[in-house]
Structure 1
């Protein structure tokens, strides 16, 4: 029998690329996104090009109780793979940013993902089989002034994923958290108009490659997946510098996000780009 995968944020970016990989491996798909028109287009394309059965759920996962609504819509479907990929960011000083946007982001990144994982998890444990892939960010490894709540929410997702991965040892269920650096998706445009004016093309990761890396890590049951040698270095930077120092570095980088210095090394450019884009 074909297995079934649920993918949030499936209409674009990494969610879309991960969905294609699952379709290639003949999973039946439940695609969840706020963009209903894109979901319908994808559904039609997949029905013509793959053997996957495709169900779409158009909903705003940043709303309260959205995880329960989604789970109820699954109608007792046995879920073999859950990919939590939906997310967005808010740029600016915490004192000045829009609380409505931030509360929606926190609800999506923390409450919805946690609740949906909990609802799906028990069935996986009962069947001794299942894989969960949570998409976090390189931002998870340090505090992020000027995107304070985004960084904090991604840190939560990293910690949560590592903890339950440990709890689920020997159950047949694995949890993987993918922590990509800058990736060429629509994320920057969603963050804010102020930050979307500062895009740097230096060493931009291909979403197909990032998705393939995360997908492979999920299949292997790897817990933390950080694609790219330089990103691995940056993820470990807080181990070599004090938290105060790394926080100050991020603050300076974010404050300079309208202008890229011209007299920096390639490594410094990459650090600047990562902290401006993740």
Structure 2
């Protein structure tokens, strides 16, 4: 628990991992700043958190993929005279398909959100943390950070950036009391695959998807312990270890299989229609 009142800023906080992170921080007594472009859902999350945990929940509706939005967010927080003790860079999106067929504007959107906004928020808030020699940052990478991902080439490229960028900063921060943790989830049960137009894939239909609450808990605990990184889930740990020994060409072939169309997609859809409600925020990183 936070020993004194502290504040965590969470991007993509209206659903998925971000929603789960918000609850974890609030449960431990943190005030939270909730950021997403879905203002209506953010208000619902904020109301739930305030009622259940009796903490302050500030809502900032912001599309971080828009040029300058990350800098605007930083300045809005500064105007409220609120110190961000923990930054959770969770927001992220993807797009499925052959690179020659996918829409360039959508891919620029992905790069703006997954890379540029994350870099800007990291820089601005990290400068403040280093100046006072305290703070924590959680970066949402992916198991796709570690292996080529055909049919989602731009997404996996952005996540490779997040992983490499963060590992470099972890080294730069080693002589400070500021810590950075990289969370690498595998395929998870959020709405990521629908928003990425990847709901027909093998990985979505024929594999076991991680529970976002479990993934968030793994990331939260690693963050609080000051760990450099955490791969969530035993299966994903094994796959991550294999990337160190298997050639990239073989990794690409294996990953492409998972991203190709599944023959059992109809069964998954039938199962999903009778199961728990899917999470529906585009700013949820789930892979």
Cα separation, 2, equivalents of 1:158 and 1:144: 15
Q: Give the structure 1 partner of residue 232 of structure 2.
A: 227
Partner of 2:194: 189
Question: How far is 1:229 from its partner?
Answer: 1.8
Using the alignment, how far apart are the partners of 1:232 and 1:149 within structure 2? 23
From 66, 78, 96, give the equivalent of 2:83: 78
Paired with 1:187 and 1:20, the residues of 2 have a C-alpha distance of 20
**Counterpart Cα distance in 2 of 1:19 and 1:44:** 12
Match among 27, 31, 34 for residue 31 of structure 1: 34
Say whether 1:49 aligns with 2:62: no
Partners of 2:87 and 2:36 in 1: how far apart? 14
User: Residues 170-209 of structure 1: matches in 2 within 5 Å?
Assistant: 170-192=175-197, 195-198=198-201, 199-200=204-205, 202-209=207-214
Residue 140 of structure 2 corresponds to which residue in structure 1?
135
Q: Does 1:5 align with 2:4?
A: no
Deviation (angstroms), 1:246: 1.3
- Secondary structure of 2:243's partner? helix
CA RMSD of aligned residues (A): 1.6
Using the alignment, how far apart are the partners of 2:219 and 2:17 within structure 1? Answer: 10
CA positional deviation for 1:230? 1.6
Divergent runs of 4+, >6 A: none
CA distance in 2, matches of 1:160, 1:137: 13
C-alpha displacement of 1:64: 0.8
TM-score (norm: length of structure 1): 0.89
Compare relative contact order (CA 8 Å, sep 6+) and give the higher one, 1 or 2: 2
Q: CA deviation at 1:63?
A: 0.9
Report how many residues are paired. Answer: 260
The whole-number CA distance in structure 1 between the counterparts of 2:236 and 2:53 is 34
Hey, what's the Cα distance between the residues in 2 that align with 1:33 and 1:58?
Answer: 5
CA distance in structure 1 between the aligned counterparts of 2:246 and 2:49, rounded to whole angstroms: 48
Match of 1:258 in 2: 262
Mind listing any 5+ residue stretches in structure 2 that lack a counterpart?
266-285
> What is the TM-score normalised by the length of structure 2?
0.87
Q: How far 1:260 moved relative to its partner? A: 5.6
